[in-house]
């Protein structure tokens, strides 16, 4: 556990916030989001809980900032590879499946991002102020617009509104399917004991690819019908 002097300058406060976020990220390598408490985070950072609230108003505020940073890293990582995600000569439905497959693979390589997205609405967006909620939602909006623009570049059959719908659905699918692919121990034991329940325990990559491809193909068909 580190012990810090009070941060007095803007630079020191920014460094302290980053230290808190790095510590929280390290904790998520050890435990699920539900087990991460502000008390334990404060102890590991070396701050009293009352001092911690000078930087983050709640545990959820810390995790929302962590989610925004994880999403930004994901976008930076995939940006350079996006042009190679599809065969430009392939049909639109084939390209939709190619995009879905690459999205599945790249999200699966970022488990912390997926874990945070899976609890975003049920946990992280509670116990926060309007200011924190607004800041996070604007960051989320900008990220979805970024992804929508890239999806339209790969699937030019989509218009701007459809591409934004696709981007939003991608985030929804990541959160929902990540949760379902990682059941609690009792649930996992039930799936293993009764093979008729196996379909309720999908592998994240396979389930995401199939669902995303179906949604993208539906949007492409919708665009064709409207033209």
- Domain's final residue, options 56, 75, 95: 56
Asked if residue 67 and residue 150 are part of one domain, the reply reads: yes
pLDDT the model gives residue 210:
97
Query: Looking at residue 154, which CATH number applies to its domain?
Result: 1.10.357.10
Q: Report in angstroms the alpha-carbon separations of 151 from 53, 77, 79, 144, 189.
A: 39, 15, 11, 10, 39
Whose CA is closest to 178, among 83, 113, 226?
113
pLDDT in tens, the chain (227 residues): 444 455 566 788 888 899 999 999 999 999 989 899 999 999 999 888 888 888 999 999 999 999 999 999 999 999 999 999 999 999 999 999 999 999 999 999 999 999 999 999 999 999 999 999 999 999 999 999 999 999 999 999 999 999 999 999 999 999 999 999 999 999 999 999 999 998 999 999 999 999 999 999 999 999 999 87
Tokens 């009352």 correspond to 50
pLDDT given at position 158: 97
Residues 39 and 112 in one domain: no
Give the span between the Cα atoms of 113 and 67, in whole angstroms: 6
pLDDT, position 7: 54
Examine the domain organization and report whether 41 and 133 are in the same domain. no
Q: Is 123 exposed, middle or buried (0-12, 13-18, 19+ CB in 10 A)?
A: middle
Q: What angle do CA 163, 164, 169 make, to 5 degrees?
A: 95
Do residues 43 and 97 share a domain? no
pLDDT at position 5:
52
Same-domain status, 48 and 68: no
Together in a domain, 115 and 50: no
Q: What is the CATH number of the domain that holds 29?
A: 1.10.10.60
**Does one domain contain both 62 and 14?**
no
Same domain, 51 and 137: no
Q: What is the per-residue pLDDT for 1?
A: 46
pLDDT score, position 2: 47
How many domains in the chain? 2
Residues 9 and 41 grouped into a single domain: yes
From 38, 56, 74, the end of a domain falls on 56
Domain endpoint, select from 14, 30, 56: 56
Q: Are 70 and 45 in contact (CB under 8 A)?
A: no
CB distance 40 to 26 below 8 Å:
no
Angle in degrees, 0-180, between the axes of helices 204-226 and 160-180, rounded to the nearest 10: 160
Tell me if the pTM is above 0.85: yes
Among candidate residues 50, 97, 123, the one with its CA nearest the CA of residue 213: 97
Q: Please, what is the end-to-end C-alpha distance for the chain in angstroms?
A: 62
**Whole-number pLDDT of residue 57:** 92
CA distances from 206 to 48, 105, 168 (A): 44, 9, 19
pLDDT of residue 207: 97
CA atoms of 81 and 114, how far apart (whole Å): 20
Neighbours of 26 (CB within 10 A): 10
| CB-count burial class (<10 Å; 0-12, 13-18, 19+) for 67 | buried
Query: What is residue 118's predicted lDDT score, i.e. its pLDDT?
Result: 95
Q: In this structure, what token pair is assigned to residue 196?
A: 């008729």
The pLDDT value given to residue 51: 87
Are residues 170 and 88 part of one domain? yes
Residues 123 and 21 in one domain: no
The whole domain housing 40 covers: 1-56
Euclidean distance between CA atoms 141 and 145, whole angstroms: 6
Quote the pLDDT of residue 13: 84
- 97, 209: one domain: yes
């Amino acid at each position: 556990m580190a012990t810090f002097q009070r941060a007095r300058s803007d630079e020191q406060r920014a460094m302290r916030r980053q230290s808190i976020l790095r510590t929280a990220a390290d904790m998520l390598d050890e435990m699920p989001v539900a087990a991460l408490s502000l008390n334990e985070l404060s102890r590991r950072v070396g701050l009293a809980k009352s001092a911690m609230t000078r930087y983050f108003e709640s545990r959820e505020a810390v995790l929302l900032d962590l989610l925004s940073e994880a999403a930004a890293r994901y976008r930076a990582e995939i940006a350079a590879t996006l042009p190679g995600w599809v065969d430009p000569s392939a049909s639109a439905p084939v390209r939709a499946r190619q995009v879905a497959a690459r999205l599945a693979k790249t999200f699966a390589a970022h488990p912390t991002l997926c874990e945070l997205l899976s609890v975003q609405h049920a946990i992280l967006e509670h116990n926060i102020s309007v200011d924190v909620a607004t800041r996070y939602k604007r960051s989320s909006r900008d990220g979805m617009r970024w992804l929508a623009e890239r999806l339209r570049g790969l699937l030019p059959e989509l218009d701007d509104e459809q591409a934004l719908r696709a981007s939003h659905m991608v985030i929804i699918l990541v959160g929902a399917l990540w949760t379902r692919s990682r059941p609690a121990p009792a649930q996992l034991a039930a799936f293993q004991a009764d093979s008729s329940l196996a379909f309720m325990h999908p592998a994240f990559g396979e389930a995401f690819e199939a669902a995303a491809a179906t949604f993208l193909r539906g949007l492409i068909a919708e665009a064709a019908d409207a033209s």
